[in-house]
Chains A and B, each alone.
Chain A
Amino acid sequence: MTPQAPWRPSRRTFVRNMCIGGLATFGAPLVSFAQVRQSGRFVFVLLRGGFDGLAAVVPYGDPAYQSLRGTLAFDEGELVALNDVFGLAPGLAPLKELWDHRELVVIHAMAIPYRTRSHFDGQAILETGIDRPAGAADGWLNRLLQVMPGQRSGIAIASGLPRSMSGTFDVQTWSPTQLGAVDDDYLGRLATLYRGDSALHGRFEAAMQQQETVGEEPMAGQNARRGGIAPLMRAAARILRQETGPNIAEVEFSGWDTHANQGLAGGALDRLLGQLAEGLVTLRTEMGPAWSNTTVVVMTEFGRTARPNGTRGTDHGTAGAGFLLGPRIARSRVFADWPGLGDGALFEGRDVKPTLDTRAVLKAAIAGTFDLTPGQADRVFPSSEAVRGAYDLMG
């Protein structure tokens, strides 16, 4: 065994050196960086686990709030008030800057079009964009790529191709390196071997190109997990902001299944919200000038029970909150047909009642970002013609 060299060039410098001329051989359509002309960028942030809308976007002005929420009720003074009814949880305070810049729509009482309290079914519905569980349907982001015109490509910032991106349109994936930096001599030799394989050559070069784009900063798996979603958002931004980069990214953030001890200000859930807010702000910063064409949607598979459970947490519920962000929205606002928390207002006596279909928001977001017609947006969500896009959310 040879002793480890005291210094090695980073993978980034290595890739830069060896990729000269490599771009020309990339296999389209897998990686067609050089052909994309769409200026719009869309990021779908999927909060897996059922994110507690009432803990994030707090209806402090609802007369039933304090008594219903009990041990999980915030004091008004802790919140970032948005209007007389709603305030953001303390962890989400960094989003105030977007709110002030007319870049944040806060959505409430929103749910997928199918009533389920199963993570599996709920995520399947949200990710396929159809209104009932169906085994083999494509993801809605993949369908968007199939439907939208012009040069386009998608990337999942996830440790596996998520359902929302799966389908007949070829998409890329990127995840933080989990095994530490790899020696450049080794990668160089490997690249030589891949050059002799016509089917895989373009893909291998693309992998190293992506790696170069993203860089090597705090990306080792453990750090990425500890740092929440911000490192993933930074990576997404670096990939998306290139003029010829992908237009659509899916970023995942799990850990929202707060059945126990979710806490209040500074508690477990609030820290998670803090990471989410930091991630969104990071994305905005890192996108640079490309932010002006970027739209972000944050959604989850279901909200949680209105009342705390016996373990100071909440159980699987129905409607919840979400966010629509970016300069292309019409203005900052709370978008909710608020059903209230009073007696008889809850869905099945336990959850926030759904008054808005996730697809209405998604249709508006993609139409506004990619200049789609309502007809095109409808095609992304089969059998959804009855659900009109909330098009006035976008400018």
Chain B
Amino acid sequence: MDAALHALNRFGLGARIGERQRITDPKAWLRRQLDGGPPVIQAPPAATPAAVTAAIRAFRGPARQPPQQRQQLRRALVEIGAQESIAALTMRVTSDRPFVERLVAFWSNHLCVSTAAKVLVVPLAGAYEREAIRPHVLGRFEELVLASAKHPAMLVYLDNFQSIGPGSRGAQRGRGRRGLNENYARELMELHTLGVNGGYTQQDVQELAKILTGWTVGGLQSGGPRLRGSASAEAEIGFGFLDLLHEPGTRTVLGVKYADAGVEQGERVIRDLCRHPSTATFVATKLVTHFVADDPPPAAVDRIARVFRTTGGDLRAVSAALIDLPEGWADGPKKFRTPQDWLVAVLRAVDAPAVNAMTPPVLRQLRHPLWAPQSPKGFGDTMSDWADPDSLLNRAELARTLARRLRDARLDAAALLDVIDAGSAGSLRTLLKDTAIPAGDRVALAIAGPAFQWR
């Protein structure tokens, strides 16, 4: 195994042609990427906070609008999502710190929102990744989870923005039209921190849900009744704590009592959830599954969990520990590339300067649309999630379309051998050099062939 190629494919997002020769010390190359803050993506023109606020308010405007106008307002939201998708994917394809970008994608999926769930998430999902996930992937886990908890995209996606404490002043005034919503509280424990077997009860879910009442989104509409009392009506969309909706009282979660302290009550319990031993194990298991093997070796999970615990969830230290796992470099089972990984690896291989508007639909067709998993669990991360027969055929067909476009770039198919683990690709080598095969087909064979499906 070529360690440089392994670092590029397993930990990075796919090798560029000629890149592996420039890496002399693969682990040092990966470690260097962890220096400094994560790369920043600026909001695309249609997705500035002011523009998103305006588009969402227009969409939520009068309840009865002619269908055509509603379509148009919906399209504006979709356009924001499209620009965000292209910006995010372009970063993945062009970044010189691909390990960090892989971490961004990992955490974004771990704490996923989904545009498939609610149209309001469509214009917010890109901002969520840029603002809540990306800045924290090398910081502390609890800051990451808190940023996620307070982002409008998550508050909307898992309904916390309209969860109302049954004993709150707002509930008494609101004639019981809405009440407590446990959705976010449950997923926060089940999927974001402790894991499903992390030792919490339904009672804990309810208590946590009550603690988090009042965590809502301000600015969704101009001066709507639900938002009175938060920031000024003309403020941009953002997190707001609304005491009016907050369930008063001391609550107990996992045996710990939390005195009512407004928003701080929730912040404290989230920090405690992040520091819980179950969280370390749950997060370590997911990370090792992502970087080592579908069946994560227990020793590697233990090591990562220990680093997570002893550093207080320092994700820079945890990421560095992933590099140092011997299991991550062993000649064992490989990781099957998810559709997003696969397409990004193709585009990186040929050093594409950006992605175009066709890329997000292609990901949809490959069943791996950006920010649109079917459930809060996020997309799966193992071979059994992605290597079904129909998906392999889908890649084979798509590879030909891609190859037709790449052919314009006068790409030599044989050059792609540089980005593929050639140990398993003897017959591929022969085919790619066979000039009797159309050049486009050879490129397609390189990227649709089995060797390219692994990282």
A and B co-occur in one complex? yes
Taking CB atoms, residues of chain B closer than 8 Å to A175 are 390, 394
Q: How large is the interface on B (under 10, 10 to 19, 20 to 34, 35 or more residues)?
A: 35 or more
Cβ–Cβ contact B375 & A207, under 8 A? no
**If the complex has contacts A210-B390, A259-B67, are A187 and B396 also in contact, measured as CB distance less than 8 A?**
yes
Q: A134-B186, A160-B367 are contacts. A166–B374 as well, Cβ < 8 Å?
A: yes
Question: What 1/0 mask marks residues of chain A from 175 to 192 whose CB sits below 8 Å from any chain B CB?
Answer: 101111011011101101
- Indicate whether B376 reaches chain A with its CB closer than 8 angstroms: yes
Give bound CA distance, A185 to B431, whole Å.
12
8 further A-B pairs in the complex, CB-CB below 8 A; given A175-B390, A182-B400, A196-B450: A120-B117, A136-B196, A136-B377, A161-B388, A173-B388, A207-B390, A209-B389, A211-B393
Q: For residues 358 through 390 of chain B, which have their beta carbon under 8 Å from a beta carbon of chain A?
A: 365, 367, 374-377, 383-385, 387-390
Among A163, A177, A203, point to the contact of B387 (Cβ < 8 A).
A203
Establish whether residues B375 and A197, one from each chain, have CB atoms under 8 Å apart when the complex forms: no
A1 touches B424 (CB 8 A): no
**Stretch in B78-86, B134-142, B437-445 with 4+ CB within 8 Å of A:** B437-445
Cβ of A44 within 8 Å of any chain B Cβ, yes or no, is no
B389 in complex: contacting residue of A178, A210, A260, CB < 8 Å: A210
Task: Take A120-B118, A311-B67 as given contacts and tell me if A189 and B191 are in contact as well, using a CB distance cutoff of 8 Å.
Answer: no
State whether A203 and B389 are in contact (beta carbons under 8 Å apart), knowing that A160-B367, A183-B441, A186-B445 are contacts in the complex. yes
11 A-B residue pairs with CB within 8 Å: A31-B389, A133-B183, A135-B376, A136-B375, A136-B376, A178-B365, A190-B396, A194-B450, A197-B450, A204-B389, A311-B67
Chain A residues with CB under 8 A of B36: none
User: Does A196 lie within 8 Å of B427, measured CB to CB?
Assistant: yes
Contact with B along A118-137 (1 / 0, CB 8 A): 10100010000000011110
A72, chain B: closest CB distance, angstroms:
16
Known A-B contacts A2-B438, A189-B431, A189-B437; A206 and B401 likewise in contact (beta carbons under 8 Å): no
- What are the residues of chain A within 8 A of B390 when measuring CB–CB? 172-175, 207, 210
Do residues A179 and B397 form an inter-chain contact, with CB atoms below 8 A? yes
In the bound assembly, the distance between CA atoms of A31 and B390 in angstroms comes to 12
Bound CA span A190–B395, Å = 11
CB distance from B267 to the nearest CB of A (A): 23
A183 to B451, CA, bound (A): 21
Which residues of B are found within 8 Å of A199, using beta-carbon distances? Answer: 383, 387
- Which residues B265-320 have CB closer than 8 A to chain A? none
Residues of A within 8 A of B389 (CB): 30-31, 172-173, 203-204, 206-207, 209-210
Top 4 closest pairs, chain A to chain B, by CB? A207-B389, A197-B450, A206-B389, A207-B393
Report the contact-size class of chain A (Cβ under 8 Å from the partner): 35 or more
The answer to whether A124 touches B387, judged by C-beta atoms less than 8 angstroms apart, is no
Contact partner of B441 among A124, A135, A185, CB < 8 A?
A185
Q: Would A179 and B67 be within 8 Å (CB), given that A133-B183, A135-B186 are in contact?
A: no
Q: Which residue of chain B is the closest to A199 with respect to CB atoms?
A: B383
- Nearest to B386 among chain A residues (CB) is A161
Residues on the B chain within 8 Å of A159, using CB: 365, 367
The answer for the CA separation of A277 and B387 in the assembled complex, in Å, is 34
**Structural contact, A261 and B67, CB atoms closer than 8 A:** yes
List CB contacts (< 8 Å) of A1-53 with chain B. Answer: 1-2, 30-31
A207 partner, pick from B118, B374, B392, B426, beta carbons under 8 A: B392
A349 vs B428: C-alpha distance when bound (angstroms): 67
How many Å lie between the Cα of A144 and that of B320 in the bound state?
Answer: 43
B453 to chain A, nearest CB (A): 7
Say whether B375 contacts A173, CB under 8 Å: no
Within 8 A of A (CB), among B386-413: 387-394, 396-398, 400-401, 407
Q: How far is the CB of A331 from chain B (nearest CB, A)?
A: 37
Known: A189-B431, A189-B445. A203 touches B388 (CB 8 A): yes
Chain B residue with the shortest CB-CB distance to A260: B67
A204 touches B392 (CB 8 A): yes
Q: What B residues does A206 contact at CB under 8 A?
A: 389
Complex CA–CA separation, A135 to B441 (angstroms)? 42
Known: A160-B367, A163-B375, A207-B389. A189 touches B441 (CB 8 A): yes
Q: Are the CB atoms of A200 and B67 closer together than 8 Å?
A: no
Q: Give the docked Cα–Cα distance between A173 and B394 (Å).
A: 11
A182 B67 Cβ-Cβ under 8 A: no
Is the Cβ of B187 less than 8 Å from the Cβ of A135?
yes
**CB closest residue in chain B, given A120:** B117
- Tell me if B190 counts as interface (CB < 8 A to partner A): yes
Which of B374, B427, B438, B445 contacts A1 (CB under 8 A)? B438
> B392–A186 contact, CB under 8 A?
no
Minimum Cβ distance to chain A for residue B66 (Å): 7
A193 touches B445 (CB 8 A): yes
* A2 / chain B contacts, CB cutoff of 8 Å: 438
B191 touches A135 (CB 8 A): yes
Answer yes or no: B173 CB below 8 A from chain A CBs. Answer: no
Interface residues of B in 58-84 (CB under 8 A from A): 64, 66-67
- Taken together as a complex, chains A and B put the C-alpha atoms of A201 and B427 apart, in Å, by 14
In this assembly, does A208 line the interface, its C-beta being within 8 Å of a C-beta of chain B? yes
**Does B190 contact A208, Cβ atoms closer than 8 Å?**
no
Contact with B along A240-279 (1 / 0, CB 8 A): 0000000000000000000111000000000000000000
